[in-house]
Amino acid sequence: MKDKVSIVKCDTYEKCREGIDEALRLIGGIERFVKPGDKVVIKPNLVSKKEPGKAITTNPEFVKAVVHIAEAAGGIVTIAESPGGPYNRTMLNAVYGACGMNYAVEGTNAQLNYSTDFTEVDHKDGHTVKRIPIIDPVLDADVVINLPKLKTHAMTSYTGAVKNLFGVIPGTYKAELHFRLDDRKAFCSMLVDLCERVGSVLTIMDAIDGMEGNGPTSGTDRHIGLVLASENPYELDMAACDIIGYETDEVDTVRFSIERGHAVSSYDELNIVGCDIADVMIPDFAKPESHFNLLKLVNLPSALNAFFVNKLASRPEIQYKECISCGECARCCPPKAISMDSGRPVINRQECIRCFCCQELCPKSAVKIKRSLLNKFMIKIVR
């Protein structure tokens, strides 16, 4: 039997408990996944210190509702995340506080994870990585509940269930993987490897308010009004991508999931329950500026293809009027392509690998995506 992906309308976070309950009911109920006494780790998207009012991190009301649901089923709940930057108690405390996680556990028995222990585990069947460092709370859990946010992403086009699990890798190892896997396809292949290794995951997506444009942190908030749930994170991502107008071959994590047999081969084959997906599609959902792929339109020899990819690629650019020279972009840059020698961040274009970590982690959204002149010119021609 095909895995189910439930889609439920839910307009406000004040009523999200009802929406989440219904989304879970449609796929068999929380009791299918959480048994009395199970150690449950809830993994929200807490990419960095962002206020809950922005559609950047999983909303604390949404997290709190899932905590209550898991505890009602008898689960022993911990909220765990490795946000961008160093993985230490100080950073965890700052991120939990900024993102409203103290509120999410208030009045419950749930705990916030402050352990910074992790273990390198084997994944012999991995296509791109054979060993992966994963934070211990996730490895020790009986059940992992993944709470991604529906957002676009400058590097990977879309971030959802599969991409959210990048947050189970401890801080500095994320930078190392970005540096080693500076090609988008290799990076996305690693994300699918990671999702395979984490294993059985219940995914409940916060798609009440999402982000379009230059996500995952510098885009525009977009009210979507949905909750999605599935035991199959790959097919939940397919459903979300269909809703916001991506083809399956435009999002590499989706494409690799299909190629590896983790998901059905087309949107038409998804087992959707709840809302008809045709009724909730958003045809004008804005994509990241870095997403446009002119090279899909032409066939070029590999050497020419590489040349044009480099010339057409979008790049990060510092907006100095918004920049506060905090140095966070330089600290988090995987190839160390950003220096603070002049007292403000300067990007070395030759060293930049276009992972957009600087844009993702800037506390003031002062890093924007800039298209090359050739890119802009070619887009005008095609359009």
Answer yes or no: do 64 and 127 share one domain.
yes
Task: Examine residue 72 and state whether it is found in any structural domain, yes or no.
Answer: yes
Range of the domain at 195: 4-279
Domain-ending residue, one of 279, 305, 336: 279
pLDDT > 60? residue 301 = no
Domain for residue 131, yes or no?
yes
Q: Do 245 and 373 share a domain, yes or no?
A: no
What is the per-residue pLDDT for 110?
98
Q: Examine the domain organization and report whether 209 and 129 are in the same domain.
A: yes
Q: Cβ(193)–Cβ(132) under 8 Å?
A: yes
Domain holding 215: CATH number? 3.40.50
Residue 379 has pLDDT above 60, yes or no: no
**Residue positions counted in the chain:** 383
Read off the pLDDT band of 307 (50, 70, 90): low
In this structure, of 2-16, 206-220, 351-365, the range with the lowest mean pLDDT score is 351-365
Give ∠ CA 190-248-217 in degrees, rounded to 5: 60
Q: Looking at this protein, which amino acid is placed at residue 30?
A: I
pLDDT band at 203 (very low <50, low <70, confident <90, very high): very high
Report if residue 98 sits inside a domain: yes
Rounded-to-integer distance, Cα 166 and Cα 192, Å: 10
Q: How far is CA 333 from CA 83, 159, 183, 292, 371, in A?
A: 14, 20, 15, 24, 20
Closest of 156, 149, 153 to residue 254, by C-alpha = 156
| 155 lies in the same domain as 197 | yes
Query: CB count, 10 Å around CB of 292?
Result: 18
Together in a domain, 325 and 180 = no
Peptide bond just before 301 cis, omega within 30 deg: no
Which pLDDT tens digit goes with each residue over 332-373? 888 899 999 889 999 998 898 878 888 888 888 888 877 655
Q: Are residues 260 and 302 in the same domain?
A: no
Q: Please indicate, yes or no, whether residues 261 and 192 belong to a single structural domain of this protein.
A: yes
Domain assignment present for residue 214? The answer is yes
The number of domains in the chain is 2
pTM of the model: 0.86
Residue 287 lies in a domain: no
> What average pLDDT does range 20-34 have in this prediction?
98
Instruction: Give the span between the Cα atoms of 302 and 296, in whole angstroms.
Output: 13
Kindly state whether residue 284 falls inside one of the protein's structural domains.
no
The three-state (H, E, C) secondary structure of the chain, written as one string: CCCEEEEEECCCHHHHHHHHHHHHHCCCCHHHCCCCCCEEEEEECCCCCCCCCCCCCCCHHHHHHHHHHHHHCCCEEEECCCCCCCCCHHHHHHHHHHCCHHHHHCCCCCEECCCCCEEEEECCCCCCCCEEEEEHHHHHCCEEEEECEEEEECCCEEECHHHHHHHHCCHHHHHHHHHHCCCHHHHHHHHHHHHHHHCCEEEEEEEEEEEECCCCCCCEEEEEEEEEEECCHHHHHHHHHHHCCCCHHHCHHHHHHHHCCCCCCCHHHCEEEECCHHHCCCCCCCCCCCCCCHHHHCCCCHHHHHHHHHHHCCEEEECCCCCCCCCHHHHHCCCCCEECCCCCCEECCCCCCCCCHHHHHCCCCCEEEECCHHHHHHHHHHC
Is the same domain home to 269 and 123? yes
Q: Looking at the domain assignment, is residue 76 inside a domain? A: yes
- Please state the rounded mean pLDDT for residues 269-280: 97
Question: What is the structure's pLDDT at 166?
Answer: 97
Provide the percentage of residues in the chain whose pLDDT is more than 70: 90
C-beta neighbour count of 122 within 10 angstroms:
10
Beta strand pairing call for 201-212 and 143-147: parallel
The confidence score (pLDDT) of residue 246 equals 97
User: 182-193 pLDDT, tens per residue?
Assistant: 888 999 999 999
Residues 110, 247 within the same domain:
yes
pLDDT at residue 313, as a whole number: 65
Contact 136, 198 (CB under 8 A): no
pLDDT of residue 329 exceeding 80, the answer is yes
Which pLDDT score, from 0 to 100, does residue 380 have?
44
Residue 176 lies inside a defined structural domain of this protein: yes
- Do 58 and 194 lie in a common domain? yes
Q: Based on the fold, state whether residues 127 and 164 are members of the same structural domain.
A: yes
Q: Tens digit of pLDDT for each residue in 136-190? A: 999 999 999 999 999 999 889 999 999 999 999 998 898 888 888 988 899 999 9
Supply the CATH number for residue 299's domain: 3.30.70.20
Task: Supply the pLDDT for residue 67.
Answer: 98
Are 39 and 79 within 8 A, CB to CB? no
Mean pLDDT of all residues belonging to the chain: 90
Considering the domain architecture, whether residues 263 and 299 belong to the same structural domain is answered as no
